[in-house]
Every structure is written in structure tokens, then in C-alpha cells.
């Protein structure tokens, strides 16, 4: 399994809602599945600047890379950048 984790700070809630509404269609061809979306309650150690987190599961790294590099998702990146500050990281589950 491969997971893409996004650490998010929303800048424009209306644009963020627009972006979020379009992401699921970009995940489907790559078997991407939303696992978790939530807001930060506390930081128990270290520093974490973002307020929200999203976790998306893919069957493998190739699917995650395919999704991120797909024309459908790439077309959403300008909207994402206007809507929020995001650190988007891919992890391999061991």
C-alpha cells in the first residue's frame, strides 16, 4: 500500500471547497481512496504548522504517482495553491 498524506492550512475556504469537490473524480482511475480527513487538536511533540490533514490510500506507489501526475489532478493544482498551503507527501506502508 501507498499513502499520500496532505498537511493543510486553508487560505480561502470557498476555493478549498471547490478544490475538494473535484479531487474524488481524479482519484477513481488510480484506485485512490480517502481514508481520513481531520483537523488538528494538539501537537504532542515537535512542531506542526498546519491545521488539517488528509490521508489517501493507493494500491501502490505507481498508482499514487500516476494520480499526482495525471492531467486531471495537475489541472487542479492552481486552484489548490490559491485555496491552501499544502505539504503533500507519499509514503510506502511497511
Delimit the domains of the chain by residue range.
2-41+50-92
pLDDT in tens, 38-64: 999 999 999 999 999 999 999 999 999
> What digits encode the pLDDT tens for the residues 19-28?
999 999 999 9
Q: Note the pLDDT of residue 94.
A: 80
Q: What letter does residue 60 receive in the DSSP assignment?
A: S
Average pLDDT, the chain: 97
Beta strands (DSSP E) in the chain are 2-10, 33-39, 52-58, 84-92
pLDDT of 18 over the 90 cut: yes
- The pTM score is 0.92
The domain 2-41+50-92 is placed in CATH, from the list 3.30.70.100, 3.90.1510.10, 2.30.30.30, 3.40.630.10, at 3.30.70.100
Amino acid at each position: 500500500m501507498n499513502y499520500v498524506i496532505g498537511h493543510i492550512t486553508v487560505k480561502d475556504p470557498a476555493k478549498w471547497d471547490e478544490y475538494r469537490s473535484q479531487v474524488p473524480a481524479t482519484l477513481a482511475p488510480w484506485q485512490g481512496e480517502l481514508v481520513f480527513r481531520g483537523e488538528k487538536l494538539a501537537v504532542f511533540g515537535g512542531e506542526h504548522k498546519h491545521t488539517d490533514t488528509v490521508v489517501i490510500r493507493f494500491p501502490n506507489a505507481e498508482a499514487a504517482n500516476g494520480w499526482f501526475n495525471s492531467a486531471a489532478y495537475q489541472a487542479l493544482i492552481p486552484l489548490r495553491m490559491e485555496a491552501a498551503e499544502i505539504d503533500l507527501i507519499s509514503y510506502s506502508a511497511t
